[in-house]
């Protein structure tokens, strides 16, 4: 039996990160005040793309944070709670305080879950003795601390065997660290190792070629299909699995930058909204759920088969917003997303390859020059312009 709800809202957006706020801003402009509600328990909102430069000592952690209250668009109601359960057959969600909330349309934008605990020994080791990660607000400052403290030995950078947000980020920090250590002239013998679970350095060949040149420039030792499965901090040993042979490979480290395994948030995995992979199962063009037409999803938690980035969300958000307006007006969704994503591949201080491509891996480049080459101007774009563009354009529903 369907339970009564305390209240029903017209459009409910769960998750007030990059995706949720971008859609909220667009809908708030198009619908009467009070039509849009965002549910998110967070106190703060982060511009995560800059964490690469925070880890590399070229941006401050504080510059990446705003109060969540300050990014909620005018006219949007914010409920500072988490979603505990989805009940799409009843058009309801259950909040962490137990309240049932009804909706006419739902947008699921919960981001990705970092599964640190899937690597035994990692959680305890993080932030100590050279073990760091750019992947969270709590750990990102330890990266720059340990890069500065590195005096020799093996420096490891890992890329896990799961989908991750920003597929280039595990190696961007490696290129910054390698350049820093060369400039500093680290005296002891040392080597830089990239341990990547995929068989290729980057999915799109055009950009992979340039990355392989950067790898060669820094004499980085790359092992493909090698997945970090445990960390023994006491003996400074990393346990890897060779994904081809299944063999265990143990390597000593002095510095370890970990990109943790990631998956869809558990609350989605356990819900009827999930595909068999755990992500919210939406149509790859319209972002509309394949079984629940009044549900949409975008961003990292969706199963849109593209690289999970904020840049992808910039193109998904107008599609989702337009299609919700269509459904509310009794029309079929009219807007289509083509899979556009972008990865600003930092290859050193003042050097960046701006990868932009669609669902087919076809280049969708913005500028009238060869973006597969490293450029100083593109680094400045990432460091100085894109953050302004994010806070003042994308989150306002204007870009
Ligand atoms: P998020 O922005 O993570 O937001 C998810 C929101 O959901 C959060 O506010 C959270 O509090 C909320 N939430 C979670 N669970 C619940 C719940 N149960 N109930 C309610 N709310 C909940 N992208 C780029 O485009 N370019 C880059 O160069 C780039 N570099 C990156 C480098 C790093 C180190 C990292 C970590 C990311 C990078 N990204 C980059 C990726 C980009 O930041 C993400 O793809 C983007 O933030 C995803 O947006 P989202 O809204 O899906 O998730």
SS3 readout for 44-113: EEECHHHHHHHHCCCCCCHHHEEEHHHHCCCCCEEECCCEEEEECCCCEEEECCCCEEEEEEEEECCCCE
pLDDT class for 399, splitting at 50, 70, 90? Answer: confident
Look up tokens 């500093």; give the residue.
184
Report how many helices (DSSP H) and strands (DSSP E) the chain contains, helices first.
11, 21
Residue 202: φ, ψ to 5° = -155, 145
Average pLDDT over residues 312-321: 98
Distance (Å, rounded) from C-alpha 198 to C-alpha 383?
28
- Residue 171 and residue 157 in contact, taking contact as beta carbons nearer than 8 Å: yes
Quote the pTM value: 0.97
132 is catalytic: no
Percent of residues, the chain, with pLDDT higher than 70: 99
Q: Locate the ligand 1 atom nearest the alpha carbon of residue 84 and give its number.
A: 18
pLDDT value of position 75: 96
Within 6 A (CB) of ligand 1 lie: 14-20, 39-42, 48-49, 51-52, 82-83, 109-111, 134-135, 165-166, 169, 265, 267, 299-301, 308-311, 313, 344
Q: Locate the ligand 1 atom nearest the alpha carbon of residue 46 and give its number.
A: 2
pLDDT value of position 4: 67
pLDDT higher than threshold 70 for residue 152: yes
pLDDT value of position 6: 74
pLDDT value of position 94: 98
Look up tokens 């600003």; give the residue.
344
pLDDT value of position 2: 63
Q: Which of 10, 19, 33, 15 is closest to 325 using CA atoms?
A: 10
Percent of residues, the chain, with pLDDT higher than 90: 98
| Catalytic residue selected from 311, 343, 353, 394 | 343
- Ligand 1, atom 14, lies closest to the CA of 110
């Amino acid at each position: 039996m369907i339970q009564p709800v305390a209240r029903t809202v017209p459009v409910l957006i769960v998750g007030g990160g990059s995706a949720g706020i971008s859609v909220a801003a667009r809908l708030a402009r198009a619908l009467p005040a009070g039509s849009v509600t965002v549910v998110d328990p967070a106190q703060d909102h982060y511009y995560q793309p800059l964490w690469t430069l925070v880890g590399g000592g070229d941006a401050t952690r504080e510059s990446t944070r705003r109060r969540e209250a300050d990014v909620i668009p005018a006219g949007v109601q914010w409920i500072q709670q988490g979603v505990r359960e989805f009940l799409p057959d009843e058009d309801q969600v259950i909040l962490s305080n137990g309240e049932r909330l009804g909706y006419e349309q739902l947008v699921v934008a919960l981001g990705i879950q970092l599964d640190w605990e899937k690597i035994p020994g990692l959680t305890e080791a993080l932030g100590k003795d050279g073990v760091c990660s750019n992947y969270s607000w709590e750990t990102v400052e330890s990266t720059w601390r340990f890069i500065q403290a590195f005096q020799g030995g093996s420096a490891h950078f890992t890329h896990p065997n799961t989908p991750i947000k920003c597929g280039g980020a595990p190696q961007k920090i490696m290129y910054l660290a390698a350049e820093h250590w060369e400039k500093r002239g680290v005296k002891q013998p040392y080597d830089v190792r990239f341990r990547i679970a995929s068989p290729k350095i980057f999915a799109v060949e055009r950009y992979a070629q340039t990355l392989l040149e950067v790898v060669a420039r820094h004499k980085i030792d790359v092992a493909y299909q090698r997945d970090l499965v445990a960390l023994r901090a006491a003996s400074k040993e990393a346990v890897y699995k060779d994904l081809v042979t299944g063999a265990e490979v143990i390597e000593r480290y002095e510095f370890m930058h970990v990109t943790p395994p990631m998956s869809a948030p558990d609350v989605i995995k356990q819900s009827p909204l999930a595909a068999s992979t755990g992500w919210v199962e939406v149509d790859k063009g319209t972002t509309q759920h394949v079984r629940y037409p009044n549900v949409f999803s975008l961003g990292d938690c969706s199963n849109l088969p593209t690289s999970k980035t904020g840049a992808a969300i910039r193109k998904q958000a107008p599609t989702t917003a337009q299609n919700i307006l269509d459904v509310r007006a009794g029309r079929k969704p009219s807007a289509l997303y083509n899979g556009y994503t972008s990865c600003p591949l930092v290859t050193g201080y003042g050097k960046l390859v701006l990868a932009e491509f669609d669902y087919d891996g076809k280049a969708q480049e913005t500028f009238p020059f060869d973006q597969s080459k490293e450029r100083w101007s593109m680094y400045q774009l990432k460091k100085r312009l894109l953050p302004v563009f994010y806070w003042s354009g994308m989150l306002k529903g204007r870009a």
